[in-house]
Amino acid sequence: MRFLITGGGTGGHIYPALAIAGGLRDRYPEAEIIYVGTDRGLEAELVPKAGFEFYSVPAQGLKRKLSLSNLLVLWRTAKGYQLSRALIREFGPQVVIGTGGYVCGPVVMAAVRQGVPTFIHEQNALPGLTNRLLSRFADRTAVTFVDAVKHFPPKARVILTGLPVRSEVLAADRRAARKRLAIEESDKVLLSFGGSQGARSINKALLATVQHYAFQPGIRLFHASGPKGFAEFQDDLAERGLYIEVIPNLTVAPYFYEIADLLAAADLVVCRAGASTLAEITVLGCPSILIPYPFATANHQEYNAQALVRRGAAVAVKDRELDGELLRETVVNLLSSSHKLAAFAQASREMGKPRALDNILDVVERLAAGQTR
């Protein structure tokens, strides 16, 4: 078995691609797997570290306004297409798998033109432009959110698989996690974070919530400030007469490495609305307050958040409307109502796709066997 995987630019495209690559390696230990990206993207660093053979081809996105630089983009894309054709012809993959990003365009189209089965995966509720275009030609288009289906052309062969979730999150257990974290079963737990680098707007808004719950029995607060925001968050708390080291029910860190346990232990999560984060909180059935990143491409995090809001699994607050009092009121309203939390948790769990990776691998397996219709 031979598989070619492509996806690049951002972690949102690369990590799902690596999860699929890892799943294929586990299912087919003898399979040959190569990864195609650009030498400018994060994939050039991450893929070799994950143990996969990496090839780069030129690819770049068109400017949305008329520009002479678009001529260079078209030239790079054409060159990337030709290199992809040669690589596919030499490698002979059974299936070509794309997860988004500009590089998917020339690679997947080269496979289509050579009659190689193609599979693309869209992570967000609002599909990216590349995947929307490729879905017209791909044998299968998999989505994380059912809300994404309406954004694809009618002839696209779209299936709902979910987004692969890290194995440690799938294995996380609430009772065991709380025992490891020394959290009483009766405690309410609020977990907040803004992604691996943190989010200043969330850090600022959370101060009022910390002040409200500080020293309060039966409540545990865990907040990841991000490496750059940690000192500022401490200083902002100190201005309110609060000090991290003396508040027994507050844990603040730049980054939580035990995030799987914390998610399993949480009664409520405050976070951004990236697709991977939402896949993790729904697979564990976490109620959430979502604050979409306002500068995400095409505002796709807003669409992701609304996918949960419409099903009663979350509350969404726009970043520009976020302030301390609004966040405090929203948190208190939810944490003080066991009925609301239970309803949110049930709706969240119903959206979760714990078999997402298996779903994807099953489709890829069928395509490899020639079942393209």
| More confident position, 258 or 11 | 258
Mean pLDDT score, 108-112: 96
Does the residue 97 lie in any domain?
A: yes
Name the band, by pLDDT with cuts 50, 70 and 90, for residue 75.
low
Instruction: Answer yes or no: are the C-beta atoms of 323 and 203 closer than 8 Å.
Output: no
% residues pLDDT > 90 (the chain): 86
* Residue 43 belongs to a domain: yes
pLDDT, mean of residues 94-122:
95
Average pLDDT rounded to a whole number, residues 93-122: 95
pLDDT value, residue 65: 59
Question: What is the rounded average pLDDT of the residues 342-351?
Answer: 98
pLDDT tops 90 at residue 281:
yes
Burial class of residue 55 in the structure, from the number of CB atoms within 10 Å of its CB (0-12 exposed, 13-18 middle, 19+ buried): middle
What is the model's pLDDT at position 40? 81
In terms of domains, do 138 and 214 share one? no
Q: Give dist(CA 99, CA 316) in Å, integer.
A: 26
Residue 373 in domain: no
**Of 47-61, 140-154, 217-231, 346-360, which range is least confident?**
47-61
Q: What integer pLDDT is reported at residue 247 of this predicted model?
A: 97
Q: What's the pLDDT score for residue 181?
A: 96
Range of the domain at 14: 2-165+354-368
Confidence at residue 229, expressed as pLDDT on a 0 to 100 scale = 93
Q: What's the structural domain count of the chain?
A: 2
Across residues 52-73, what is the average pLDDT? Answer: 69
- 184/141 same-domain check: no
**Residue 30 main-chain phi, psi, to 5 deg:** -95, 0
340 with 304, same domain? yes
pLDDT of 71 over the 80 cut: no
Q: Are residues 34 and 109 in the same domain?
A: yes
Q: Which residue has the higher pLDDT, 58 or 276?
A: 276
pLDDT score of 62 more than 60: no
pLDDT (tens digit, 9 = 90+) per residue, 164-217? 999 999 999 999 999 999 999 999 999 999 976 778 999 999 999 999 999 999
Confidence band for 41, pLDDT divided at 50, 70 and 90: confident
CATH of the domain at 186: 3.40.50.2000
| Same structural domain, 178 and 115 | no
The pLDDT mean for the chain works out to 93
Residues 119 and 192 in one domain: no
Q: What is the mean pLDDT of residues 231-247?
A: 96
**Exposure string over 223-250, b if 16+ CB within 10 A, otherwise e:** bbbbeebbeebbebbeeeebebeebebb
Which two three-digit tokens encode residue 331?
Answer: 């948190």
The rounded distance, in Å, linking the Cα atoms of 244 and 250 is 7
Asked whether residue 223 falls in the same domain as residue 334, the answer is yes
- Of 84, 122, 107, 109, whose CA–CA distance to 6 is shortest? 107
Q: Given a cut of 90, is residue 61 above it in pLDDT?
A: no
Residues 116, 189 within the same domain = no
Domain membership of residue 197 (yes or no) is: yes
d(CA 71, CA 180): 57
6 assigned to some structural domain = yes
Indicate whether 250 pLDDT > 60: yes
Average pLDDT over residues 124-135: 94
Q: Are residues 157 and 192 in the same domain?
A: no
In this prediction, residues 115-120 reach a mean pLDDT of 97
Claim to verify: residue 332 and residue 363 sit in the same structural domain: no
- Percentage of the chain lying above the pLDDT 70 cut: 95
Residue 291 lies in a domain: yes
Answer yes or no: do 182 and 87 share one domain.
no
Do residues 186 and 276 share a domain? yes
Q: Is the pLDDT of residue 12 over 90?
A: no
- The residue with greater pLDDT, 219 or 61, is 219
